[in-house]
Structure 1
């Protein structure tokens, strides 16, 4: 995505980048995403930050909320929907700090990390999944 310097990316534009990253997942992974809700917000809310023991909202770029597929059981019916949230401002801040990668790559990295939690993947497996989507 080419941006004019100083023009901020909108929530909708970042959501489009995130959905594009989801669309690049291997078919076997996409098929198992089910009804995961995907959202982009400017920052995590204070309750979320507090539950994670964080004070600085710029520390959290994404969050998986739910139970990994490997941990689900019938007793979990009626729980809140599984959700992946990206946080636009922290992602943009990290992108500016890194300065050596595209925004698309960073958003994909965050998305794949959160998708990895959905599947109960290890960090090494998450990196392998990221390599498959490039």
Structure 2
């Protein structure tokens, strides 16, 4: 048996991580957040989709849906988000599976590290955190 035949048998039964797999990694990341960040994040919904919608890409002037791995949707605490307004949707973070898998294939980070980084960055927008604040939290989890 050639080396490539052995590789084919190893890789053949494997499949890419599913939406549920990405969601499980996000749940792990949320549970690993340090306090008080973790408890303050409890009211934020986390959703996973294949890609951002065409409307989101258009609104954000993004050329390719592969260019966006996550999105915070809602009203941040620094934007009068403490008390929900009538008709206000819950704050949520969207994680986009295919862009994250594409990034994962081209870099050395684990998929869990990527999901955690994107999640922290997007939740950080809810709290009005700077990018430096978010990187410090992310670095503390590694």
Q: Which residue of 2 aligns with 1:121?
A: 129
| Preserved CA contact (<8 Å) 2:75 2:81 | no
1:29 corresponds to 2:51:
no
**Aligned with residue 100 of structure 2, among 63, 73, 91:** 91
1:72 corresponds to 2:80:
yes
Q: Which residue of 1 aligns with 2:141?
A: 133
Note the C-alpha offset of 1:88: 0.1
| Gapped regions of structure 1 (runs ≥ 5) | none
Q: Which residue of 1 aligns with 2:26?
A: 18
1:103 corresponds to 2:111:
yes
Q: Distance in 2 between matches of 1:73 and 1:16?
A: 27
Q: Distance in 1 between matches of 2:81 and 2:65?
A: 32
Q: Which residue of 1 aligns with 2:58?
A: 50
Q: Using structure 2 for the length normalisation, give the TM-score.
A: 0.85
- The CA RMSD over aligned residues, in Å, is 1.7
Q: Distance in 2 between matches of 1:19 and 1:75?
A: 25
Q: Using structure 1 for the length normalisation, give the TM-score.
A: 0.89
Q: Extract structure 1 runs of 4+ deviating beyond 2 A.
A: 73-76
Give the number of equivalent residue pairs. 130
| Preserved CA contact (<8 Å) 2:19 2:49 | yes
Larger Cα-atom Rg: 2
| Preserved CA contact (<8 Å) 1:25 1:132 | no
Note the C-alpha offset of 1:122: 0.5
Q: Which residue of 2 aligns with 1:7?
A: 15
| Gapped regions of structure 2 (runs ≥ 5) | 1-9
